Structure formats: C-alpha cells, structure tokens
Amino acid sequence: MPEYCRVERDGPLFVVTIDRPELMNALHPPASYELEKVFDEFCADPDLWLAIITGAGDRAFCAGNDLKYQAEVGVGSGHAPTGFAGLTARFDNPKPVIAAVNGVAMGGGFEIALACDIIVAADSAVFALPEPRVGLAALAGGIHRLPRQIGLKQAMGMLLTGRRVSAEEGRALGFVNEVVPASDTLPAARRWAEQILECAPLSVRASKEAAMRGLDKSSIEEAMTTRYEGLAAMLKSEDFLEGPRSFAEKRKPNWKGR
C-alpha cells in the first residue's frame, strides 16, 4: 500500500490523493518516487482511462517541495525521473489527468496542476511559483508551461514576483477551468471526469496527443499534416465503428478503448 498517497479505482477512473496533510501535502523524493509508481500503474492499465489528483485535508493541494527534508538530507536527493509527483516530467502519458486543487498550490504543487489537462479549483485555493523568493526557480515545468497556458506577459508577472494568485484570478488568467466551493472540489472534478468518460477513450487520447504535440509545430498546416500515433490507433479501433453505429441505433455507445 502507498505510504504518502491514497489511490481509488472507480471503474475507468483513478483518483490519487496526496496524503501528507500535516505538511500541507509537500512532497519529498520518496513521495515523488511512490507517486511515479502509482502513475506508472495508471498509464499501463488499459482499464484505467482517466485520473484525478488532489490533496488530503482542506488546507492544501500541495505546498510544493518539502524544504525541511531537503535541508536535512541535502541537495543530492532528487525527485523521480518522471518529475515532481511523478507527473511534471511525464511527457508520454496520453490519458487525461484532472487536478482537483482543494487549497494551496505553491511551487511544485502549482507545477503538478499545470502538468494536468484540466484544473478545478476551490474558491479558497491559492496558486504561486514563489521559488525566486527562496533563491530557487520553478524548474519542474512551471517556467515553460505557464507562458504557454496564459501568455508571456501574464506569466512573467507571476514568475518574476512569486506573487500569489487566487482561484478566481487563475480562472480569469486562463489556467483554471472552474472555481467551486471548497466542499465541491472533488465532486466537481468527478463531474468533469464523467463528461470525458462519455467520450471514446481513444478519441480523447488522440485529441490530447495532437493538441499537445501540435503546439511544437511552426504552423497550423504543419500541425495538421503531422502523423500522430493516437489518431492512427483511433482510426483502427473498434470504437471508431461503435460511435457511428450507436448514433444510428439511437443508443449510448459501449466504448471499449480499443
């Protein structure tokens, strides 16, 4: 059983809860390695189609790096190869991940959320990349993801000051999808999950792959003419036929993910 997180399987939905509430769910390398294994399981299991990540308690999603642990152990103890929480450097996951941000998301905690596809935030949530204030930098992807998600000037306003941003401002800036009362954070994330699970899983994965990889292309034409493995798999799948068939028969589709 995991020591630093809790996991729940609900059909094709996988819910991961960072479970260090006494430390505002701050992560040290052992926790990141554990979460790496958890998300390895999620990515490898064909019966799991979507994940939600959240934090235990009502104070924090994740307060970032466990600096006290780092000070005690030293700089040499790094996080998992797939990044902070096993997510921030995981670039080959085609399955969607939703962040249910139930409180503080600072530093690496914010970077976990930025690495997810959708962010649902409690109205009490606070976001920041305060690393420059302690002589560090947001090197778990925040420096690069934030400008791509909200534009350069708005991102620099956060990156260079380390200032704190409320959930509502995060929604206005564009990195938060929905703001809800704190008690509704996980239920709201589940509602988003239910909508995604109504769609064909291979179509969802193909859409994510094409959208993310397409950002690296120099033009819309290049993005559209690039070959994507997920799209090829979708076109060859049983679900590619099931969708039109279920529509014609006026019934809900029976997606199989293959």
Q: Which residues are catalytic?
A: 111, 131
Looking at the DSSP bridge assignments, the partners of residue 91 are none
Within its chain, how far is the Cα of 129 from the centroid?
Answer: 16
149 by DSSP, 3-state: which? helix
Helical segments of the chain, H only: 29-44, 67-73, 108-115, 142-150, 152-159, 167-173, 185-197, 201-214, 220-225, 229-235, 239-248
Distance CA 103, CA 142 (A): 18
Distance CA 224, CA 233 (A): 17
| Contact assessment for residue 61 and residue 102, using Cβ atoms and an 8 Å cutoff | yes
Distance CA 84, CA 109 (A): 8
